[in-house]
Copies of this chain bind each other. A is one copy, B any other.
């Protein structure tokens, strides 16, 4: 594998720092290439602005259009281009972060906001000019996997836990961002209860992470429905006969076939 590993944690001496080191070492020991974007160490700028896309600030800044234009004309800033070159070299993307406010730390959210733009990760393509996304995005052929530490215990994030099910909390990242761009998204590696980890817990976590990383080529992706797979109508709404009556985020999984109820 050629792995791009995106890490978003401010403290190298953290559980996240430890797991990143262990995971990257395990991959390299098996002969895989690993390139790392340690966003804190890089001082990554997460704020979308006109400068990143070479947009003239005297003109009204329409983000998606400006990004696409800047990409097409080679006007992207060096930091955005550098990340895109790393993505292009990779066949596998690992996204590692602590779950903050049930989502990505800002520095990581802004990596996607800036790098993963229209024209590069998704959009119109081909002579027919069809819109590519959800399984058919520009990054098709890559695999992606999230590695997530969470402060609370696992049952807070269970399917009836108070925080909401972690699979649904990660839907904007896994479905809306990674799968949208065409990646095959593997089930996440989750470490709940991370704020009370003992050294033994950390060792067990590292072992689980190493196993999950080395198994990436053989792991079944999350079975999200493809945009053009026949499950959505021409308005990209689930056809009435697909998981009829189901309305939650889980309905976008191929495995959701219930005639009533949540998936």
Instruction: Please give the residue numbers on chain A whose beta carbons come within 8 Å of chain B beta carbons, in ascending order.
Output: 10-11, 13-14, 40, 46-50, 60-64, 98, 100-107, 109-110, 112-113, 116, 134, 151, 153, 155-156, 158-165, 168-169, 171-173, 175-177, 195, 227, 232, 235-238, 245-252, 260-263
Q: Give A225's nearest chain B residue, CB to CB.
A: B162
State whether A176 and B262 are in contact (beta carbons under 8 Å apart), knowing that A113-B106, A249-B249 are contacts in the complex.
no
The interface residues of chain B lying within 8 Å CB-to-CB of A155 are 235-237
* Smallest CB separation, A201 vs chain B (Å): 15
Assembled-state Cα–Cα distance A98/B113 (Å): 12
**Contact call B105/A103, Cβ cutoff below 8 A:** no
Quick check: B10 and A237 within 8 Å, CB to CB?
Answer: no
Residue contact A247 to B101, C-beta cutoff 8 Å: no
Q: List 16 A-B contacts (CB under 8 A).
A: A48-B106, A48-B107, A109-B110, A110-B110, A134-B162, A155-B236, A161-B237, A161-B238, A162-B232, A162-B237, A164-B175, A169-B171, A245-B261, A247-B248, A247-B250, A247-B262
B262 touches A61 (CB 8 A): no
Interchain residue pairs A-B with the least CB separation, the first 3: A106-B110, A248-B248, A262-B262
CB pair B247–A159 under 8 Å, yes or no, is yes
Whether A49 and B10, one on each chain, are in contact in the complex, defined by CB atoms closer than 8 angstroms, is: yes
Kindly state the separation between the CA atoms of A106 and B63 in the bound complex, as whole angstroms: 14
Whole-angstrom distance between the alpha carbons of A165 and B250 in the complex? 11
Whether B13 pairs with A168 at a CB distance below 8 angstroms is no
Contact status of A252 and B162, CB under 8 A, knowing A60-B11, A155-B237, A260-B261? yes
The answer to whether B252 and A249 have CB atoms under 8 Å apart is no
Complex CA distance for A101 and B63, rounded to whole angstroms: 13
Inter-chain CA distance A164–B171, complex, in Å, is: 9
For A63, what are the chain B residues with a Cβ–Cβ distance below 8 Å?
A: 10-11, 98, 100
A72 to chain B, nearest CB (A): 18
Q: How far is the CB of A162 from chain B (nearest CB, A)?
A: 4
